[in-house]
Chain A
């Protein structure tokens, strides 16, 4: 039972961290640690089937769903610190600690006797044992589950569906709009410069350099500029200028070399 004493403190710390941490993504990752820890505890308690299901369903499906929704909703939607009910937070913490104390004391005061153990129930293996019960005693609940899952899938589809209110813009509409923008506001009708164009890196956070070496604002996503994660290219410009001056010096001699080579051949 070394696994328990290693995992239990870790899980409690991670669960507390999940509540305390400000960013929702960090909460999700800490929750993943707790769930994997729980899966190991299931395995330690003779429940290999639930171990697999916990890993696949919870850490695999549910947490990925959480992360996807976080991505859609926006990771920076942090909590507001304004309390709508005065003193609610303090009261919640006090009550939570009291509740935890109550549960711990009650659970540890009760006597359970020696654990029966699952050796007899798992004699044919855990999965056949679970299947035996699931398809005999609990078969009705199991069948009802299918209705629940279908309802949930339909509900999610219905809720996430968005009706299109305006007709979809065709390529022709977009081309006309581009020309209209050019005529009215002088917006360049061609494609925007891609990030990293003529710069030293081709990552999306590197602005394209214009012929005079200044970074082009158009080549960087508006979101990245708002987050302030755009790479600073002023240093690159200096290097580019140096390289340029060097090549100017080397220029004639190089062509001379090439002519020499060509002559030898």
Chain B
């Protein structure tokens, strides 16, 4: 099967994730949308690995997963800390640098 449908799906998922990051206010949902974008790029990596016939793309996807796991841990800890001090998980409320 040709790789185009996979890449189209990857692009769609990526743009849905990007739209979610811009539209949503809840920090956790924004974070989930970032994860969706990372996953969409992983799909493109795996698809191109099949296209080129070597495993480098799969290795790249693997590293993306590792970094995403580390990022989720730190990001969620930050969200929790902000929630603890400000009693809100909305990205609009963390605007102290503005004033």
The answer to whether B70 and A152 have CB atoms under 8 Å apart is yes
Closest to A157 in B: B77
Among B5, B9, B84, the most chain A Cβ lie within 10 Å of the Cβ of B9
Which residue from B17, B18, B43 sits with its C-beta under 8 Å from A38?
A: B43
Which residue from A49, A112, A152 sits with its C-beta under 8 Å from B2?
A: A112
Closest to A107 in B: B7
- Chain B residues with CB below 8 A from A103, complex form: 11-12, 14-15
Check A31 for interface membership: any CB of B closer than 8 A. Answer: yes
Smallest CB–CB gap between B24 and chain A, Å?
6
Given contacts A133-B55, A148-B70, contact A93 B12 (CB under 8 A): no
Smallest CB–CB gap between A35 and chain B, Å?
6
The answer to whether B8 and A107 have CB atoms under 8 Å apart is yes
Given contacts A34-B39, A46-B50, A115-B1, contact A15 B17 (CB under 8 A): yes
The answer to whether B39 and A19 have CB atoms under 8 Å apart is no
The answer to whether B58 and A50 have CB atoms under 8 Å apart is yes
1/0 per residue, CB under 8 A from A, across B49-77: the answer is: 11111111011011101111111111011
The answer to whether B77 and A156 have CB atoms under 8 Å apart is yes
Classify chain B: how many residues form its interface, as a range. Answer: 35 or more
> Which residues in chain A, 166-180, are within 8 Å of chain B measured between CB atoms?
none
Q: Given the complex of chains A and B, what is the CA–CA distance between A24 and B32 in angstroms? A: 9
Which residue from B72, B77, B90 sits with its C-beta under 8 Å from A62?
A: B72
The answer to whether B66 and A148 have CB atoms under 8 Å apart is yes
A-B contact pairs, 18 of them (CB 8 A): A1-B1, A4-B6, A15-B16, A24-B26, A24-B28, A24-B29, A38-B42, A45-B50, A49-B58, A58-B39, A61-B69, A65-B72, A79-B24, A79-B25, A79-B90, A80-B25, A121-B54, A156-B76
Task: Name the 4 nearest CB pairs between A and B, nearest first.
Answer: A116-B53, A96-B19, A103-B11, A92-B22
Residues of B at under 8 Å CB distance from A? Answer: 1-20, 22-26, 28-29, 31-33, 35-36, 39, 42-43, 46-47, 49-56, 58-59, 61-63, 65-74, 76-81, 83-84, 88-90, 92
